[in-house]
Amino acid sequence: MPFAQLVIGPPGCGKSTYCAGMHQFMSAIGRKSQVVNLDPANDATPYPCALDVRKLVTLDEVMDENGLGPNGGIVYALEELEENVEWLEEGLMQFGQDYILFDCPGQVELFTHHNSLRNIFTKLEKLGYRLVVIHLLDSHHLASPSQYISILLTALRSMLLLNLPHINVLSKLDLLKSHGPLDFNLDFYTEVQDLSHLLPFLSKEQGSPKFEKLNEAICELVEGFGLVGFETLAVEDKASMTHLLQVIDRAGGYAFGEAEGAGDGIWTVAMREKWGEAVGGVADVQERWVDAREEYDRFEVEREEKLEKEREKEWRMKRREEEEDLESSDEEGG
d(CA 222, CA 214): 12
Nearer to Mg ion, 106 or 276 (CB): 106
State which of residues 5, 171, 242, 246 lies at the interface with ligand GTP (CB under 6 A).
Answer: 171
Cα-trace Rg, the chain: 24
Report the site for Mg ion in 15-74 (rule: CB under 5 A): 15-16
**CA distances (Å), origin 214, targets 112, 148, 199:** 21, 15, 10
Q: Does 168 bind ligand GTP (CB under 6 A)?
A: no
205 touches 136 (CB < 8 A): no
Nearer to ligand GTP, 174 or 231 (CB): 174
For the chain, the straight-line distance linking the first and the last C-alpha, in angstroms and rounded, comes to 60
Q: Does 141 bind ligand GTP (CB under 6 A)?
A: no
In the bound complex, what is the minimum distance in angstroms from residue 269's beta carbon to ligand GTP?
Answer: 27
User: Helix, strand, or coil here: 308?
Assistant: helix
Q: Does 109 bind ligand GTP (CB under 6 A)?
A: no
d(CA 200, CA 97): 51
Nearer to Mg ion, 29 or 108 (CB): 108
Which does residue 172 bind out of Mg ion, ligand GTP, none, counting CB within 5 to 8 angstroms by kind? Answer: ligand GTP
The contact mask relative to ligand GTP for 29-68 (x = CB under 6 A, - = no) is ----------x--x--------------------------
38 touches 105 (CB < 8 A): yes
Q: How many residues bind Mg ion (CB under 5 A)?
A: 2
**CA distances (Å), origin 28, targets 32, 33, 265, 268, 305:** 9, 11, 11, 11, 20
**CA distances (Å), origin 232, targets 137, 172, 205, 284, 313:** 10, 8, 25, 11, 37
Q: How many residues bind ligand GTP (CB under 6 A)?
A: 17
Angle between helices 70-83 and 116-126 (to 10 degrees): 30
Q: Does 172 bind ligand GTP (CB under 6 A)?
A: yes
Which does residue 176 bind out of Mg ion, ligand GTP, none, counting CB within 5 to 8 angstroms by kind? Answer: none
In the bound complex, what is the minimum distance in angstroms from residue 188's beta carbon to ligand GTP?
Answer: 21
Which span (61-69, 170-178, 201-209, 309-317) binds ligand GTP, by CB under 6 A? 170-178
- The residues of the shown chain that bind ligand GTP, judged by CB under 6 A, are 9, 11-17, 39, 42, 106, 171-172, 174-175, 234-235
